[in-house]
Chain A
């Protein structure tokens, strides 16, 4: 056995562990492959390490995945771009393994390397590799090959280009649906590199094949190709070739294909341009909004605003708005929910009159929806409403909705509405807020669910930030402090938490005069949990108040707590004292 001297020892271990039985150690070595390569030097990396990796590719997927990733950035370690081709063989074998994520990573790395390779090397090494994969015996190789064409094609000489196009077209008609899916996924990328005349002929015929595939999963992916291809084609070609396909897809038998169209519609509209959108895609979109499959309507409803933006207000009012009205009473709550989250965006497009006349009733009915999700989605977009119609019109309907959500029996719903309270507050203004919502915020502090109390404490802080200390002094602090006398210790604890959050916002004067006495008082509580929380709160107050207050009030209280019979109280009090010591040392 070789003798390895001391400094080389770790690297020697690293190399040996490439073949360790423990997968974690192998993984670790593979991740440090660049270190190994530097230790071996460029030449030995090329001649030994890379062939070694090529031969040892029957490892676990995790190791292979790591190897595929490392090799993608390995060019500097093999001696630069002129030697990049040595990296191709190990990646080629990784392109054939049956685990999809490994193959994908290998393809990604190959693309990364190919993009840096010199043109003659691409022709000499990369294209033959691509051809081998495309003609691979197993479908896994052919699947991988589809993702490499866009790298190889631009550098290929004319004759080879023809061959590559033919190859791709064969892949589009492969027996295996997996291969056709991969061909459909990568068609856009490949098409972007193909010259315009071939694009119109070869690529379009491949596209045609894919759009007529009898596997839904292939057609599904072809939908995405529509947008990609549409952007490459001249407008008139796009209208002639892509538009009919989109219209067809929007009436496909398979709801999944229609769902894809609904989801991609905006991109598809961009691809075909505004005029055909108005004339052809509006009817298609209206159909999707009225689809009998809820999933399709969900996708379509979610795009309603984006779609309307492409149209003028007249078209939107004429065609889309009636559908929106229908959707607002859809039988599926998810459809209504999707609609609720985007509907307010339509307001600027429709203009004030149409909004008040037509959109507002829809909006109000959604605000009264029986499902909290729908109402929440409306409220979350309140700022948009405000901009268009002003809060006065809304307040009548808004308030009952908020109150109802605030008292919903599902705590997650209550939690969601609490999160929106600061937004509401800023939109509604102080006056409105004081009257109606202030009481709610206090009520949440006494909720049965901890998460709600916690969020409520945070909410109080955010309100104080929003409206300023003076307002908080009037409307929040007294009410909050009142609750410190609640008979249940958990509620008292919530108040302590709220105090610790409020203190930094309120500033040192109010903290000393109002908040601190309450906390000090709580240190006499009979429940140890309250007492050690007092210690924690006091610790958080130390940086806020003056040193003299710390000396006079806080430290004596902490010292007393540090002699408490309860071990936890003593622990946190000591902690707080120590931190106050540090604070003093730093300030001195």
Chain B
């Protein structure tokens, strides 16, 4: 349960750096192929077991992948629910199915176009072998059920289907009466079958039930079970499930709403940072997530670089936070860009709920939920871009929202960067692991091993480390950074060292 113990209990000495290998790619681009805007991946999420992976794209589609290297036969389902799963070889996935989750819409009242782009996907509790997930675009959250259905054929009807059903080509003209009995107004035609109509005691032998032949063929059906709409005035940036299995939150720029999964027509506003006068607005919500096990705790990040943890038990409207995590600004370093680059683009709870990982434009920060004086570790991701902030501001890249993720064991963290690169850092005490990988079939191609350096303590807090500040070399090699190819979305497998990341329309998977 306690993350601190887990980390502390790790074998003496920092864990070895991982050797990352390419595993799979889906939707690889051929040289010179142009990427269609709608195909660009905008969300990635593993489910709790790590047996399924979902991606969402700008075209409003959700694509599901399933793991193939473990058999799910023989494992009692109850154990699946408990997420205990034998560890096999490195995870391999195959395309499972896809469905159109959102369509472009137009809000006529506000004269606003609503993009179909999937902002976030979250998996829900599986039940009866069906998969459930939440997907959201800017305004509307949808609850999907994906289930394998056996193909069924119906035969042996009482009536000749070609004659009986009004949709046959001959039926409508030749037997108008039958049509009426079938389609038109069924209630009227059954009227005389009321209670006064007497059936012989043994029943009518000439009647029979349709025979349903179930074939071994199955097809996957995705059905939208609920639509949670009209609750957000601003763009939804996050959805997150509660550990109680019945509620979830959705966050937009200014508000966080609490929903019951089964009730789509009402939600409760639990955080509202909208000032009375919009001109006083200085801070917006950028990301929000429930604690993985404490049903009453949730964290949200802001554009000013702070993370607030709130306790739902305290009050119905949680405008006052229980805990605030922010790093005091270094004196004298303030510039025009300070506030922009301080904005947190993503936060994630570690699986045990003890740590929170946050990503701002320049760094990854790991926070101990029990220590609000500052992050326990800071990893420099984009330090080399500091001289270029002006250019980045000009071309809007400074507003790119990079996601971050933690490994299931909480020992490593990862986040994306430009030129389709992503970086993995070890966050166990004493670890100096800092790897840069490229989302390609040869992830180590452009990687220059950073020399291990003893971590530099920034304060009296023992575990504060700052690493990766050194130029990753790529830039030094003269390779100009490509700000158009950015790796924003990535996810770490919940139980194994496997990362899925999105480079434009391609999904790359790596393992170590």
Contacts and interface: CB of A to CB of B under 8 A. Distances in A.
Nearest to A5: B206
Interface string A254-270: 11100000000000000
A143 to B, nearest CB: 10
A435 B297 CA distance: 60
B199 A38 contact: yes
B37 interface: no
Interface string A35-51: 10011111111001100
B476 interface: no
B159 interface: yes
A42 B82 CA distance: 45
Given A98-B127, A139-B81, A216-B296, A16 B159 contact: yes
Chain A: number of interface residues, binned into ranges: 35 or more
**Binding site of B, secondary structure by majority: helix, strand, loop or mixed?**
loop
B512 interface: no
Contacts of A20: 165
A137 B77 contact: yes
B313 A13 contact: no
A295 B159 CA distance: 61
A18 B210 contact: yes
Nearest to A140: B127
B244 A177 contact: yes
Contacts, number: 161
Interface string A1-20: 11011001111111111111
Interface string A434-470: 0000000000000000000000000000000000000
A526 B80 CA distance: 80
Contacts of B210: 15-16, 18-19
Nearest to B160: A1
A303 B236 CA distance: 39
A25 B204 contact: no
A383 B291 CA distance: 52
B244 A217 contact: yes
Given A138-B77, A176-B81, A177-B246, A56 B212 contact: yes
Interface stretch (B14-22, B186-194, B346-354, B406-414): B186-194
B314 interface: yes
B277 interface: no
Given A4-B158, A39-B207, A32 B190 contact: yes
Contacts of A38: 199, 203
Contacts of B157: 1, 16
Nearest to A175: B82
Nearest to B78: A137
A52 to B, nearest CB: 5
Interface in B164-196: 164-165, 181-183, 186-187, 189-190, 192-193
B145 interface: yes
Nearest to B201: A41
A97 B128 contact: yes
B128 A96 contact: yes
A91 to B, nearest CB: 16
B193 A255 contact: no
A453 B212 CA distance: 63
A458 B183 CA distance: 47
A217 B246 contact: yes
Interface in B255-301: 262, 294-296
B296 A254 contact: yes
A319 interface: no
A8 B76 contact: no
B269 to A, nearest CB: 13
A456 B190 CA distance: 48
Contacts of B164: 13, 16
Interface in B121-176: 125, 127-130, 132, 145, 149-150, 154, 157-161, 164-165
Given A15-B208, A19-B154, A293-B316, A137 B243 contact: no
A193 interface: no
A249 to B, nearest CB: 13
B209 interface: yes
A41 B204 contact: yes
A96 B77 CA distance: 14
Contacts of B206: 2, 4-5, 8
B246 A178 contact: yes
Nearest to A18: B210
Interface in A227-256: 252-256
B224 to A, nearest CB: 13
A215 B247 CA distance: 12
A252 B312 CA distance: 13
Nearest to B295: A215
A348 to B, nearest CB: 33
Contact of A13 (B82, B159, B199, B243): B159
A295 to B, nearest CB: 5
A170 interface: no
29 contacts: A1-B157, A2-B159, A4-B207, A5-B206, A9-B159, A13-B189, A14-B190, A14-B193, A15-B210, A16-B161, A28-B187, A35-B193, A40-B207, A41-B200, A41-B202, A41-B203, A44-B203, A52-B212, A56-B212, A98-B132, A100-B262, A138-B77, A216-B295, A216-B313, A217-B244, A252-B313, A254-B312, A255-B315, A294-B316
Given A177-B244, A177-B246, 11 more contacts: A1-B159, A4-B206, A17-B182, A28-B186, A32-B190, A44-B203, A52-B212, A98-B127, A216-B313, A253-B313, A255-B315
Interface of A: 1-2, 4-5, 8-20, 22, 25, 28, 32, 35, 38-45, 48-49, 52, 55-56, 58, 96-98, 100, 137-140, 175-178, 181, 214-217, 252-256, 292-295
